[in-house]
Amino acid sequence: MMTTHSLTGKENLNKMGLKGFAFAHSIPVSTKIKQIKSRIVEDYLVPLFTNQWTTLNENSFFIENMQKKINFYYQQHKSEELLAYCELLRVIKKLIENYQTLETYEKQSYSVRLHANEVTSMIFKTTKVRLLPEYEIYDSILGKPKKELEERYNENIIATIKVLLEKEDCTYDKIRSLIHL
């Protein structure tokens, strides 16, 4: 708590800070939490509001890892704000999945050509089956291995991607540049 002087010269006990929060309940926010917050804004919120779906899709691979970090810091600080960020990431992940499903559906429905004999065409909408993030990144950078050519995933590259996903400052572009070396 802080004491201040009023215009009359008397000391007043001030229980509130300039932001309007009580000093007794304020929790010092570590730099790690600030980094997580700024990364959420830069990697998810800004691209979401500017319709940069490619960027959102690339960054979606890091959501689970970020949620784990937020839960770890929540155990230390017990800040409800951290839980809100975790839920925000969950919502963003669902938005990305729904957008991908819609995009796939639109591609299918606009590319379907009806034959002269056909009267209708039926499209069944399902949720996308997601691979582990390291395999999704592998597919987006190098392409899926072709079964007909008996190609397989390069397990060394998968292991490298998995290690890179655990690093805090890792981005899709960094992974792509390291894989293409």
Tens of pLDDT, residue by residue over 9-49, are 666 666 666 666 655 444 456 788 888 899 999 999 999 99
- Verdict on whether the full-model pTM lies above 0.85: no
Cα gap 108→138, rounded to integer Å: 24
Confidence class for position 158, pLDDT limits 50, 70, 90? very high
- The answer for 122, left when phi > 0, alpha when psi is -120 to 50, beta otherwise, is beta
Side-chain half-sphere of 157: how many Cα atoms within 13 Å? 19
Question: b vs e for 88-110, b when ≥16 Cβ sit within 10 Å of the residue's Cβ?
Answer: ebeebbeebeeebeeeeeeeeee
Tens of pLDDT, residue by residue over 92-145, are 999 999 998 888 887 777 665 555 566 566 656 566 788 899 999 999 999 999
Average pLDDT estimate for 69-93: 90
The CA-atom distances, in angstroms, between 3 and each of 16, 22, 24, 25, 97 are 10, 13, 14, 17, 52
Parse the chain into domains and list their residue ranges.
33-108, 131-181
